Amino acid sequence: MTFIYPVDSNKAHPLPLSPEYKSSIKRAPNKPLIPMRHTLSELTGPVYGHETLREGDSDLTTQHTGEPIGERIIVHGHVRDEDGRGVPNSLVEIWQANSCGRYVHVRDQHPAPLDPNFTGAGRTVSDASGYYRFVTIKPGAYPWGNHHNAWRPAHIHLSVFGHSFVTRLVTQMYFPNDPLFPFDPIFNSVPDEKARARMVSAFDLENTQPEWALCYRFDIVLRGKNATPMENH
């Protein structure tokens, strides 16, 4: 199948400059991006499949000798394209804070404990239907220096490859009904309310495992449509 990647779809993304998010002020280009046609360089992309994974990469609760502290959760969904088709064999990488809202990154020094049993990094590859699944710990909210009393809503960072280099997506998955949403300039950098809603996972009771873990569903929609219209029969 041949895909096209309409540039209009990018309107769902935040603009580079979002002044409420202070760090964007000196890092957003002043000059307009230059439009260009996609060449083979843009229409192809890196292919990394199961050979990229090690055992346990998709279960962040089993990467150390003991179990991490916190609320065990399942995060699953489909990687899809703009026609609703699953994107198979796509690498999905995640990283996140622990249940106290602390990252293992050396620069995160806010006063919350590290968990010796939790690194907070994982990766998996979507299957033939685009389905992916992680087991992890629900991350905590954490303070940051953007403005007075600024707190990030709990989130899991995701990095997804997709069909081409222009489908590359780095985003954040949020949890439903977070009271911090109205105050977060990163979440609100996405101008369209419907687009913001796509970053919020749905509580999934059907796939919650009794006595074991709550489940959240998070479908990821990447750019890409079928280049050849469906045949009419």
Q: Restricting to residues 176-205, which ones interact with another protein according to CB under 8 A?
A: 186-187, 189-190, 194-205
| SS3 assignment for 110-128 | CCCCCCCCCCCEEEEECCC
CB of 73 to another protein, least distance (A): 14
Q: Which of 69, 112, 114, 169 touches another protein by CB under 8 A?
A: 169
Q: How far is the CB of 151 from another protein (least distance, A)?
A: 14
- Annotated catalytic residue 21: no
Q: Residue 192 corresponds to which tokens in the numbers above?
A: 């369209």
| 53/75 Cα distance (integer angstroms) | 18
* Beta strands 155-160 and 169-174, pairing class: antiparallel
The alpha carbon dihedral of 24, 29, 34, 38 has a sign of negative
> Does residue 151 belong to the site contacting another protein (CB under 8 A)?
no
Our finding on whether 128 is near another protein (CB under 8 A) is no
The first and second tokens of residue 77, run together, are 């969904």
- Tokens coding 93: 């990488």
Nearest CB to another protein, comparing residues 12 and 69? 12
DSSP code, position 15: P
Tokens of 38: 């996609």
163 is catalytic: no
Q: Quick one: which of 73, 66, 62 has its CA closest to 155?
A: 73
**Catalytic pick among 78, 80, 123, 155:** 155
Catalytic, out of 21, 142, 174, 216 = 142
Q: Which is nearer to another protein, 69 or 188 (CB)?
A: 188
**Contacts of another protein in 56-95 (CB under 8 A):** 57, 63, 77, 80, 82-84, 91, 93-95
- To the query of whether residue 5 is one of the catalytic residues in this protein, the response is no
Which helix (H) or strand (E) segment is 42 a member of?
helix 40-43
Site for another protein in 6-25 (CB under 8 A): 7, 9-10, 12-16, 18, 21-25
Please tell me whether residue 39 binds another protein under the rule CB under 8 A: yes
| For another protein, the closer CB: 126 or 201 | 201
Closest among 136, 130, 146 to 91, alpha carbons compared: 130
Question: From the CB of 29, what's the least distance to another protein, in Å?
Answer: 6
230 near another protein, rule: CB under 8 A: no
Known catalytic residue: 196? Answer: no
Q: How many of the chain's residues bind another protein (CB under 8 A)?
A: 99
Phi, psi of 92, deg, nearest 5: -120, 120
Nearer to another protein, 33 or 128 (CB): 33
Angle at 169 between CA 89 and CA 147, to 5 degrees: 145
Active-site positions read 103, 142, 152, 155, 157
